[in-house]
Amino acid sequence: MSMLVNPGDLNPEDLREAIRRLQQELPDLLGSSYSSFIAELNTLLPQGSNDELLTLFFLYPAAYNRLQHFLGFFSAGHGLYGDSISKPAVLYICPVGEHYVDEMDVQQKDVFGRPICPKHGKLLRLAP
C-alpha cells in the first residue's frame, strides 16, 4: 500500500478536522490496537507535522483508508477543462452512536426523504 496523500498538499487544519471527525470510529476500526494508536495520536496532534500524522495512520490500514475518505471532503477536484470544483461536504451525525455518516454512505431514506443511519437505522441530522 502506498500513501495516497502528499502531506505537503494538505492544510494542517483540514487534516486535524478529518482526524477529529474520524476519532469516534477508531475503536471499531482498530480493535485491540486502539489504545496504543490513540496514545501516539494524542502525542502528535498538538504539534506533529502532517507527515508524522499520516505516517501513523498509514501503519493502520483500516484507519488510514477511512481517513482518506474524510480527507476527500477537503480536497478539490477538477471538472471539464480543468476547472476546479469542490466536493460537497455533506455529513450527517447519528444520534445513537454519535458517529458521522457522509452522504455517499446513506443507503436508505424515510418517506420524507430524510437520511437513515446504515448502522443504527435511526434518522440522521446534519453535522455541525
Looking at every residue in the chain, the average pLDDT score rounds to 80
pLDDT at site 35: 94
> What is the mean pLDDT of the segment spanning 93-106?
81
Instruction: Mention every residue, 6+ apart, whose C-beta is less than 8 A from residue 23.
Output: none
Supply the DSSP symbol for 125: E
59-96 confidence digits (pLDDT tens): 999 999 888 887 876 655 544 444 444 455 678 888 88
Q: CA 70, CA 88: separation in Å to the nearest integer?
A: 12
All structural domains of the chain with their residue ranges:
7-77, 90-126
Q: CA 21, CA 73: separation in Å to the nearest integer?
A: 11
> What is the mean pLDDT of the segment spanning 107-128?
86
Highest mean pLDDT among 8-22, 91-105, 112-126: 112-126
- Higher-pLDDT residue of 13 and 85 is 13
pTM of structure: 0.59
Taking the alpha carbons at both ends of the chain, their separation in whole angstroms is 33
CA 74 to chain centroid: 10
For the sheet with 91-93, list strands across it. 100-102, 91-93, 125-126
